[in-house]
A and B are shown apart, each in its own frame.
Chain A
Amino acid sequence: MIPELGHFALALACALSFAQAILPIYGAWRRDERLIAAAPGLACGQLLALGVSAFCLVWSNVVDDFSVLNVAENSNSLKPLLYKITGSWGNHEGSIILWALILALCGGAVAGFGRNLPGALRARVIGVLGASSAGFLLFSLLTSNPFTRLWPAPIDGRDMNPLLQDPGLAFHPPMLYAGYVGFAVPFAFAIAALLEGRVDASWGRWVRPWTLASWCLLTCGIALGSWWAYYELGWGGFWFWDPVENASLLPWLTGTALLHSAIVVEKREALKIWTVLLAIATFSLSLSGTFLVRSGILNSVHAFANDPARGVFILGLLGVVIGGSLLLFAIRAPALSAGGIFAPVSREGALVLNNVLLCSIAAVVITGTMYPLFSDLILHDKLSVGAPFFNATVIPLAVPVFAAMTIGPVMPWKRAALLPALLRIWWAALIAVMVGLIALTKAPVLPALAFGGAAWMIAGAAADIVERIRLFRLPAGNSMARLRGLPIAAFGAAIAHAGLGVTVAGIAGMSLARQQVVLVHPGEQIQAAGLTWALDSLTDRTGPNYNERVANIRVIRPGEPDLEMHPSRRAFTTQTVTTTEAAIHTTGFADIYAVLGEERDGAAVMRLHYNPMAPWIWLGGLVMAIGGGLSLADRRLRVGAPARKTVPLGVSA
């Protein structure tokens, strides 16, 4: 009964989303006040119906209703409750529901928080969001219905991939999806602006908080995913340039560009057409990224052919969304008037440079990700593009971004000179050079340069704030007064910039990581990865739905108590799958990381790592997101919207 209710609610949400797509946009076109006023109600109605549907799906998972095909294939009665709940969106069908639910939440948020928007603009934005929802809900109903029944019902389900039974991964998809889908709002604003034929500073001010909120969530989502790969896969790396990872990085890159170009629209009314195009590109990349990956086309062309209906639907949907919006852009963009004039060397100029470089990075990442697919389809050459390609192309393009992102914020708008700007942050440059030189005594040239660059970004962010409050140049009291008067967004930007520096420092440290594969007998002591390790014993242990083999090891450190670690291998009973559980001890400045491999003749194969600075990689992501969150709290972003209290996208399913 409950699954049927969910199915009905899903169909209802689909019908409502069509109404939400058609009525408000038609109303805004015809200037029909009644239809314009119907938009928020329709958005909330769709959200409510979809919420019921999603709840029914979670319910079916929690009560182990194995007569539902989706539950039978992906769940098991032995699975812990947390993973029964999170497992409902850990598969294809469920993830589409989660996606649509977050999209509906965006619509609801625009309806709820956008009361100060002009009625017609709000109606159009909600209409565009409704049209996207309609596409997904139709896709879900027609090709991936999560409520399909199975008869006779099996006694138990097939269980979820054990790799996914992990708290990190339980929260990674909703976070990432919220980031992806959040970019639907700037996209809807862009389409609405094209329909209206008007982009102005206030448009920039409305778009920015939505972009910022999605960007924060996407940043957190990517960092969580990378952290999960680090500790759960047990390979010791944090980023593998895998198509799935690249699919999340691409919207982040263009989203970051959008965030910065929206500032120019808001402050200077320049770059309007470009910003509209970026908003379209970012959402298109979110869409195509997830769906190309979800459909399996990027990993294997054949998986795509397994279910032609899904593949064709996805391609059709992508074609309509991307092609349609670009067509609209081509027709309407010339009508948007060009904005303010600025010199190449100016704050605007620095932001243009940021946009050009970020888009270039996105372009090489797309090239590297898609090339194997094209080469297989067109040239019939099987090849893969791995980390060396991305390192060789992304790093040289990222270096100027790092160099410029510190100088940009201290340059004035409209017209600036490079030398005075540099002189204002001379001490950041001095710190960077010193850090680089100190690192050079202990590390090779490239990591040392990266450490210098990281110091440049962190010190530069501090220099920006110090410069704004004229510290040491005005009496301390005046500086304090300036500090209090500084907009929160200024702190947010500085913190986010520093966060990137923290991440870069982490990556530089990880490039110095040492690892060694060893064969150890119980009771033996060995030297590996610069540390002394002792394997005390190998024992067996039983968990809720797995049996595991645990290595009890100690790291012997001079002058400190021994460090006990317990890496293990888990054999999951329901799925005949083994996972390696790495043991990680972090000091904040380095990770000691041990992985247990197979056993031969009583000895264990182990891979032992020493990863300097590793935690900083994800810490930096968190700092960036916090910076973004602080900017969201800025009153200036809420001008005319005193009612808004919280981050509009904070909730996820």
Chain B
Amino acid sequence: MEIKILGTGCAKCKTLEKLTRDVVAENNINANITKVEDIMDIMKMGVMATPALVVDGKIVMKGRLPSSDEIKQMILNA
């Protein structure tokens, strides 16, 4: 599974990355997590409000900071 965190480096983006890594570790999800910080790349994916969460190329959440439970659901349902 490919998980991407889109964000230019604001506090919420960092928290999202941390939460996502925790969720993946706790649930033994086999995923590769990368952070996309380049604004051009973020725009190309059609994201205007950061942070955003991308699972296997699909944007599952953007513009807010979801709870760990929500992140888990988003990853598993993607």
Do A and B bind?
no
Q: Which residues of A contact B (CB under 8 A)?
A: none
